[in-house]
Amino acid sequence: MVPVTDPVPPAPTRALGALQGSALYIGAVLGTGVIALPALAAKTAGPASLIAWLGLVVLSVPLAASFAALGARHPDAGGVSTYARRAFGATPAVLVGWCFYFAIPVGAPAAALFGGDYVAAAVGGGRTTSFTVAAALIGGLAGANALGLHASARLQLVLTGVLLALMVVSVAVSVPHARTRNLHPFAPHGWAAIGSAGALLVWSFAGWEAITHLAGEFARPHRDLARATGVAVIVVGVLYLAVAGATVTVLGPAAGSAKAPLADLLAYGIHGARAIAAVMAVLLTAGVMNAYFAGAAKLGAALGRDGALPAWIARGSVAGEVPRRSLAVMAVLALGSLALVAAAHLDVRPLVLLTSAQLATVYAVGVAAAIKLLADDRRMRAMTLAAGVAAVLLLVVTGPYLLWPGALAVAAVCFVRRKRLPRRDAPHW
């Protein structure tokens, strides 16, 4: 998952090259999902979950290429919402904005629980510890943002580097303990479970559209965007497959029940690995959530300012102001989601799947816009069509959880009609 605003402040001149773009792109796609989703996917589909990981890597190629081409053709900080507005008008643009904004109250509790599970694995306390840490993360980060305290873009990149190091070291120290016998039975829950695992993993592969927000900052977007995209797809794909493969082949039957899989892998070669992994997981989770809270709060205020949400939420939309009302809405909804999961004795899977459905919807709208806006580019025609197939597959695997973005779509249609926003000239965010 990725912030809905630029991960770095706009530069006065176009200064990004392929190397810097690759680093930012990798940071946008890698997120908190990798610290927990390998185990959740293994629980859902067993070793066959590796097919779901590989499938998402393959589907990433046309998706990432299509968004990179859109960014090069239409460099604008509005990203997918801008493309939706250009191609289809106000309603799809509003839907994209809502899917981003309302993904935070659903996704933030899941991300916070990922970090909480690592703390529980280190200090004990089980579910109580996990939910206490999660509530503290949500409340603390919302409060910090209300005071105007944001992590810098440089800190976000440092935290991404921490995640990369954690992934690489976890795989390196655990691979000698991998056993092929842990691949049997390969599909203990049936082959259909691969699709269910894929629905969970959409969370980990969200972010291929993120580079579009930064397209205008590249010195040579037509060349460097493609290069940055290619490097990011390869690096992210290799890292995800390595961690997923290690989780299945090293942890074996215990993979599905692992609450902190990277900590379990680290424990094969590092003394005190659980405490180290817990600290890293909390820092990483806090960094990612901070970026989401800061970006989405601004988005909500901008949506209110531009008529795509109630006007009372608009305060704080001006640069330099703190969008406290928008932030309060997100924090209350996020804590409400967390409380509901706790009261119903659910795990994080429903939250992950609901968020994945929203992200898949954003992809579908963005790819549809790419097919239309890039129709005159013969080189991209096959790629955008392949991306269309990929987007449809993502929607299919999310299944009944599409009811949530479907409800948002209905609400967006009603809201736009009531507001009578212009069809092609709606503001972008």
State both tokens at 50.
């590796």
State both tokens at 183.
């691949």
With tokens 């790419």, the residue in question is: 370
User: What is the residue-averaged pLDDT of the chain?
Assistant: 84
Give the SS3 label for residue 90. Answer: helix
With tokens 């608009």, the residue in question is: 314
Q: For residues 7 and 160, what is the distance between their CA atoms, to the nearest angstrom?
A: 12
8 band by pLDDT with thresholds 50, 70 and 90: very low
392 band by pLDDT with thresholds 50, 70 and 90: very high
- What torsion, rounded to 10 degrees, do the Cα atoms 75, 79, 80, 81 define? -110
Cis-peptide into 105, omega within 30 deg: no
Q: What is the pLDDT of residue 7?
A: 41
State both tokens at 117.
């599970």
Tens digit of each residue's pLDDT (9 = 90 or more) over 12-35: 445 667 777 777 778 778 778 888
Whether pLDDT at 428 is above 50: no
Whether pLDDT at 78 is above 70: no
Worst-scoring range by mean pLDDT, 61-70, 147-156, 163-172, 233-242? 147-156
Report how far apart, in Å, the C-alpha atoms of 220 and of each of 126, 180, 190 are. 51, 46, 48
Q: What is the pLDDT of residue 298?
A: 82
Q: For residues 4 and 136, what is the distance between their CA atoms, to the nearest angstrom?
A: 23
Tens digit of each residue's pLDDT (9 = 90 or more) over 247-269: 999 999 888 888 889 889 988 88
Q: For residues 86 and 76, what is the distance between their CA atoms, to the nearest angstrom?
A: 12
In 3-state terms, the chain is what percent helix, strand and coil (to 5)? 75, 0, 20
* Angle between helix 49-73 and 193-205 (nearest 10): 40
Q: What is the pLDDT of residue 211?
A: 65
231: which DSSP letter?
H
Q: What is the pLDDT of residue 248?
A: 95
Q: Which of 205, 215, 224 is nearest to 83 (CA)?
A: 215
Better-scored residue on pLDDT, 91 or 241: 241
Whether pLDDT at 133 is above 90: yes
Q: What is the pLDDT of residue 273?
A: 84
Tens digit of each residue's pLDDT (9 = 90 or more) over 323-344: 899 999 999 999 999 999 999 9
The structural domains of the chain, with segments of one domain joined by +, span 18-419
Q: What is the pLDDT of residue 302?
A: 81
- The winner for highest mean pLDDT among 98-107, 154-163, 221-230 is 98-107
Q: What is the pLDDT of residue 369?
A: 94
Q: Specify the length of the chain in residues.
A: 429
End-to-end CA distance of the chain: 18
The second-level CATH assignment, the architecture, of 18-419 is: Up-down Bundle (1.20)
Q: What is the pLDDT of residue 420?
A: 61
Q: What is the pLDDT of residue 309?
A: 84
Tens digit of each residue's pLDDT (9 = 90 or more) over 276-301: 889 888 888 887 888 778 878 888 88
Whether pLDDT at 380 is above 50: yes
**Strand runs (DSSP E) across 291-411, as ranges?**
none
Q: What is the pLDDT of residue 421?
A: 56
Would you give the distance in Å from CA 98 to the centre of its chain? Answer: 15
Whether 330 and 104 have beta carbons less than 8 Å apart is answered as yes
Q: For residues 191 and 49, what is the distance between their CA atoms, to the nearest angstrom?
A: 10
Better-scored residue on pLDDT, 316 or 348: 348
Better-scored residue on pLDDT, 92 or 422: 92
Mean pLDDT, rounded, for 236-242: 93
